[in-house]
Structure 1
Amino acid sequence: MAKRTGRLRHQLPHCYYEGYLEKRSFKDKTSRKLWTCLCGNSLFFFNDKRDSDYIEKVELSNFISLTDDNSLDRNLDAAKMTLQLKQEIIKLTAPNGEARELWKGFMYSIAELSVPSSLNLLPGQIHILKEALGKEKQRIHNATSSVSAATDDTSPYVNPLADMPVCYHEVNRLEAELLLERECLRGNLLLRPSGSGSFAVTTRQELGGPEYKHYRVTRKHKGGFTIDVEDPIPCETLHDVINFFIQKTDGVLIPLLFEKTYEKSISFIQSDKENGERSVQRASSSPIPPNVPPKPVKVSSPEPESVIEECIYLNDIPIEEEEEKTEDVTPSELVTELPKPPKKPLMPPVPMPRRIASSPALPLTANTASSTASRVRCNTNPMGETISELKAMLERKSKCLE
């Protein structure tokens, strides 16, 4: 199939959903796996995901129904569906059943402007469908406003559905020629407004001298544009008009684009503190690395009171704590740490009776009586005797023993 003239992908309306689909219609001999994008109310088919321009387009304005096709396929996971339009019937195959349900939900929402309730979709998927439906309604509203502006005689030009091409310049015929001559190194084609709400394309080429040509572009009542030449050329948008000139001339015509300039350094205006004179200052080109804050230290939180109270028992010491305490303390410290016995009140010592060695009974004589008296006196108060008395007493004892 010949490749049709199409817009670049970034020039298409907002894309609501995209993915691979196998497409086959009655005019196609075999099925083709194409990258499909639902942009606006149309399906755009690309040979590959990375392609920038589409090869086929199917509008959902002629939508009738979208039903499941339960016929067997060699790929057991594949899910078929039949898209019925007013002019044709298209067979589509999604990679799996979940992808088929999503495609059906997006197509029904965009074609009928309502989220279907009969599909097996998750709440998050239904929310995405509602967002796409809101964007499509806003797009239709903008398109309606553009049509009403086009019918207004006071409007100098219409506002197209898509964004204006970058080579559009609000200049008249003479200004367009002067602009192309002055900026001949940038491009030789531009789009400009024309009278009665239409547009014009101005080109400049060299053939022994500059040659300028102007082409009228009018808007059709049913939508779209037409390049007014001997055989009128219909185009959907102004982007298609520019692309047609570029492709039909093999790239000889180049749109006139102005690249926006940006500053290469940071500058600022500062006033002198002494004389107040203001001047432009240039900031230092060497960036100062930001101060890295210190790494936060993790602080252990104190134990709750309930945990502490559980460990304050005299006879309940954990084994691990007891072992650690024993290892760290020296034997001398262990002795000092032993509990001391309670102090008792001091009592006077009890004198023990002295035992006197027994001696054989002797007859009581005068000498024995005196010795007995002296013995008694010695026992009663021995510390009060003098040394001489003690010696005499010892001599008497020895005599008595003899």
Structure 2
Amino acid sequence: MARRAGRQRNQLPTCYYEGYLEKRSFKDKTSRKLWTCLCGNSLFFFNDKRDTDYVEKLDLHRFISITDDTSQDRNLDAARINLHMKDENIKLTAPHAEARELWKGFIYSVAQLCVPTSLNLLPGQLHMLNEAVEMEKERLKPPPDPTEDNYSNYISVQADMPSCYYKVSRLEAELLLERESPCGNLLLRPGRDGKSFAVTTRQDHDGPVIKHYRVARRPEGGFKIDLEMPVLCATLHDVISYLVENTGGVLKPLIIEDTYEKNLLFIHPDKENGEMSVQEAPLNVLPLSLPPKPVARRLQTPEPVLVQGNYYDIAAEDSKTDTDSTAASLTQKEKHPPKVAIMPPAVGPRKFAPTTSPQNTNSSVSAEPRTRDKTGPLGQIPAAALTELKRKLEAKKLEEVPAQ
């Protein structure tokens, strides 16, 4: 287990899977919950998900097997894993059983470069494991033969390089480290022969101390740092990791971040002499005001109107009018239904008893009570009903006239 300082996450190899794990070796008395990233064929442990520097690294080159731990735990949902290495055993605890199966699958796939068949995983998860195996095989693929024509173009894409790689010359690298000293003191650059690489570092000790290290390719694959005792590394990321870790974090990769202006500047011409000058726009800080909340409007239903002793519902009349306009296939009577009057509560219609006068039998008429026609417009009796009533009254008078 390697302790480190100063290594940043963007310098790590491709991340295949990540999540929280509780880590505990058999030497440790307590376990720690760490954010774990499977990058390349190594597990990197961070104190928190947002941290950029990892605190521990576990190399899977020494991997033997990974099994379930069926021992009891106070957390019933926790899923334990025993990671067997050549020189030690590590206990890992996943949040739940599904995460445990994924961790087992990814660790085994990257370490053995094949997908295990004994895990209970979904087809989509198995596809993720196959992609991780193919990416790891591509990452570990040895470089082409140095005698080939395309050897100098190998690893030419910026995405394959560490973030501290800059395509600069030896002198430009020294000037860049001097100008951007707060951002780091180590960078990777192309070598003079166009086939190798070089690392340039700059430190201060009674003046600038600048060093250059050659990083050569190996014919069988990987890279070699040309020191007194050559250091073999699988990738350029591992080259940077070795230099950072073995200096205790004193060497820091140069990563230049984009800068943004804090003030609004613009070029303004002078009306008198026509000269151009850079001016700063005034900052008019407006108070933050939230828009008013929309108020739901309530539709007021008009109250029934009393017209000639009858109540009429205006809203009902309007809705009937809208409905009538869309019913083109209805009959004339259905298109224009009669207006329905809303009557006030009443005991009932009044009845009049017929009166007979002995002095004047001609004027003695049995009067029928006149009731309001609920179907008439504005409470009036329809014309047909009025004509029929008059006819009945005339017939009644003729019957009561005494014979001469």
TM-score between both structures, scaled by the size of structure 1 = 0.56
- Taking a change above 3 Å as real, the CA distance of residues 42 and 2 of structure 1, as seen in their structure-2 partners, is closer
Percentage identity across paired residues of the two chains: 44
2:216 equivalent in structure 1 = 218
1:79 equivalent in structure 2 = 79
1:20 equivalent in structure 2 = 21
Structure 1 residue 174, shift from structure 2 partner: 3.9
Structure 2 stretches of 5 or more lacking a match?
268-275, 285-290, 300-318, 346-370
Counterpart amino acid of residue 37 in structure 1: C
1:323-334 aligned at under 5 Å gives the runs: 325-327=342-344
1:385 equivalent in structure 2 = none
Deviations along 1:190-247, whole A, 9 cap, x unmatched? 3221155322122345666655432112345665544322344455543454455556
1:147 equivalent in structure 2 = 143
* Counterparts of 1:34 and 1:104, CA distance in 2: 18
1:226-241 aligned at under 5 Å gives the runs: 226-235=224-233, 237-241=235-239
CA RMSD of aligned residues (A): 5.5
- Taking a change above 3 Å as real, the CA distance of residues 155 and 2 of structure 1, as seen in their structure-2 partners, is closer
> Which of 1 and 2 has greater Rg?
1
Structure 1 residue 55, shift from structure 2 partner: 0.9
1:336 equivalent in structure 2 = 379
Deviations along 1:280-313, whole A, 9 cap, x unmatched? xx9x999xxxxx9xx999999x88999xx9xx99
Secondary structure of the structure 2 residue equivalent to 1:147: coil
Secondary structure of the structure 2 residue equivalent to 1:148: coil
User: How many residues are paired up?
Assistant: 322
* Counterparts of 2:80 and 2:42, CA distance in 1: 20
* Counterparts of 2:38 and 2:17, CA distance in 1: 6
Structure 1 residue 30, shift from structure 2 partner: 3.8
Deviations along 1:229-280, whole A, 9 cap, x unmatched? 2344455543454455556667665555545455776999xxxxxxxxxx9x
* Counterparts of 2:164 and 2:248, CA distance in 1: 18
**Residue pair 2:67, 2:82 contacting (<8 A) in 1 also:** yes
Are 1:176 and 2:173 an aligned pair? yes
Counterpart amino acid of residue 336 in structure 1: G
* Counterparts of 1:241 and 1:251, CA distance in 2: 14
* Counterparts of 1:130 and 1:213, CA distance in 2: 46
Secondary structure of the structure 1 residue equivalent to 2:161: coil
1:364 equivalent in structure 2 = none
Counterpart amino acid of residue 147 in structure 1: P
* Counterparts of 1:169 and 1:78, CA distance in 2: 45
2:54 equivalent in structure 1 = 53
Deviations along 1:59-80, whole A, 9 cap, x unmatched? 1x56554333334445554433
Structure 1 stretches of 5 or more lacking a match?
269-278, 287-291, 356-402
**Bigger fraction of residues in helix:** 1
2:100 equivalent in structure 1 = 100
Larger RCO (alpha carbons 8 Å, 6+ apart) = 2
- Taking a change above 3 Å as real, the CA distance of residues 63 and 49 of structure 1, as seen in their structure-2 partners, is same
TM-score between both structures, scaled by the size of structure 2 = 0.56
